[in-house]
Amino acid sequence: MVQKEHFLEQHDPERKDFQIDRIILFSDAVFAIAITLLIIEIKVPEIHEHSSNAAILQGLYNLTPKFIGFIISFFVIAVFWRSHHRVFGFVNQYSEKLIWLNIFFLFSIVLMPFSSAYYSEYSGLNIPYYFYNCNIILTGIFNYRLISVVFNPKNKLITHYPSQQYLHTFKTRAIITPLVFLAGIIACPFWPLLSRFAFMFTWPSFFIAERYFKYKYRNEPMPTHTTKHKKTLPK
């Protein structure tokens, strides 16, 4: 009997789908916790018994930087979850490389509530802004690497491959996010205030990339794939 090289290869093939579901469910739980922690970092302003309406509104106004940080980070994490959801919609095999790469990706996601709170608390300073952007850049790099590994035929993680339009759009969207936040870091020493709005170029860039590849591959035939039929038991 030939000994398998890695313990993952010794897993029961009948439980392969369950193991992939475990990776997805664990990842979803991490995303859910991270995105929830964003709002937990915003503390309710203290209101005294005889506080005036103006004082109450001022307390809310003072939280504006934190709410802005929360909104940005919420949708950034949502973008990464959507990407993760799309990737694992193709995965029907797993490997040690995929598991560890997914863990490193989730590590950068878990760090985001802290980096977001740090930047929101000191939004006027550059170092917290750099730290926050570096967190998102790191997440973007892991996300791009995850996509590259999954869709590389040599890794044999999927059997149904997307069209070239979809694949190029997917990879381009994955690299846009870290590039936009890197541009914010580069612009910060020259235009500190303007650099804070660099993130706003993310979604227009997504739209442009999607339209470009849709036009470029407009004549591409749709990929064919085989559908697995479940065996039916005789009545």
Domain ranges of the chain: 15-42+63-216
Within 10 Å of residue 199's Cβ, how many Cβ atoms?
19
For residue 92, give both structure tokens: 């029907």
pTM over 0.95: no
How many CA within 13 A on the CB side of residue 79?
22
* Residues 91/95/96/102 CA torsion (nearest 10 deg): 0
Check the CA dihedral 56-48-65-173 and report its sign. negative
pLDDT string in tens for the chain (235-residue length)? 444 555 455 555 556 778 889 999 999 999 999 999 999 888 888 888 777 888 888 888 888 888 988 999 999 999 999 999 999 999 999 899 999 999 999 999 999 999 999 999 998 899 999 999 999 999 999 999 999 999 999 998 988 888 889 899 999 999 999 999 999 999 999 999 889 899 899 999 999 999 999 988 888 776 655 444 444 444 4
Which three-class secondary structure state does DSSP give residue 197?
Answer: coil
Residue type, 124: G
Residues 6+ apart with CB under 8 A from 115: 131, 132, 135, 136
